[in-house]
Chain A
């Protein structure tokens, strides 16, 4: 069974700190990986996606991919209370159809 695993948390960090969110996946055929942020009662919103090994930066967010270790991470620099949410990691499961397999999500709490 294709799986995406995340620590459910909660992960608590002080305001201004770096939050590090981790994700592992089981399907080696997965090509693209996504990080979504979901506020309570709302639909997920895409933060960024990555498909090449290494780092990809976008503002305060950096996604890291290591295909050999089947590991994806998201770093949030200068964390703000408004970043408090559930972060969902997703993989395309080698389908390349837009179908995504989601992890259970990590709840992040940024404390002022």
Chain B
């Protein structure tokens, strides 16, 4: 299957700082990528849809000024958690869909963010 690489796999940061997470599709082009968040023992919740060359679409309740998404190329989307707080500590996962294929979306390995 296609490969989606997410970096870093884990990060610890201080409250008030910003953290950037990268999501790359390694062997296919993705006009659309998705960012999910998963709290312990809960399911994945979609945060936003990242669209190459245009603004991201955020789900209800997700602050677009806090979670900045940039999708500058067909293989890279970034999520920046700005002014992080302990309640932002979570598992962040991206997924990407091959623009040339039909159905499957592939997941990155996830980023464990801990804000102290």
Cβ distance B87 to chain A, nearest Cβ, rounded Å: 20
Contacts of A62 in B (CB 8 A): none
Q: How large is the interface on B (under 10, 10 to 19, 20 to 34, 35 or more residues)?
A: 20 to 34
A interface SS class: loop
Give complex CA distance A101, B36 in Å.
10
Closest residue of chain A to B112, judged by CB? A41
Candidates A32, A102, A103, A105; contact of B103 at CB < 8 Å: A32
Contacts of A32 in B (CB 8 A): 103
Give complex CA distance A42, B46 in Å.
17
Task: Determine whether B28 belongs to the interface, using a CB cutoff of 8 Å to chain A.
Answer: no
Closest residue of chain A to B34, judged by CB? A99
Candidates B44, B106, B110, B112; contact of A88 at CB < 8 Å: B44
Whether B107 lies near A45 (C-beta < 8 A) is: yes
- From residue 39 to 91 of chain B, which have CB atoms closer than 8 A to chain A? 42-46, 49, 91
Give complex CA distance A97, B97 in Å.
8
Cβ distance B3 to chain A, nearest Cβ, rounded Å: 12
Cβ distance A20 to chain B, nearest Cβ, rounded Å: 20
Contacts of A44 in B (CB 8 A): 44, 93, 107
Task: Determine whether A59 belongs to the interface, using a CB cutoff of 8 Å to chain B.
Answer: no
Contacts of B93 in A (CB 8 A): 43-44
Contacts of A42 in B (CB 8 A): 109-110
Give complex CA distance A43, B36 in Å.
11
Cβ distance A22 to chain B, nearest Cβ, rounded Å: 15
Whether A46 lies near B1 (C-beta < 8 A) is: yes
Task: Determine whether B104 belongs to the interface, using a CB cutoff of 8 Å to chain A.
Answer: yes
Contacts of B106 in A (CB 8 A): 46
Contacts of A88 in B (CB 8 A): 43-44
Contacts of B109 in A (CB 8 A): 42-43
Contacts of B42 in A (CB 8 A): 104
Contacts of B108 in A (CB 8 A): 43
Whether B43 lies near A98 (C-beta < 8 A) is: no
Cβ distance B107 to chain A, nearest Cβ, rounded Å: 5
Contacts of B45 in A (CB 8 A): 102
Among A32, A51, A99, chain B packs the most CB atoms within 10 A around the CB of A99
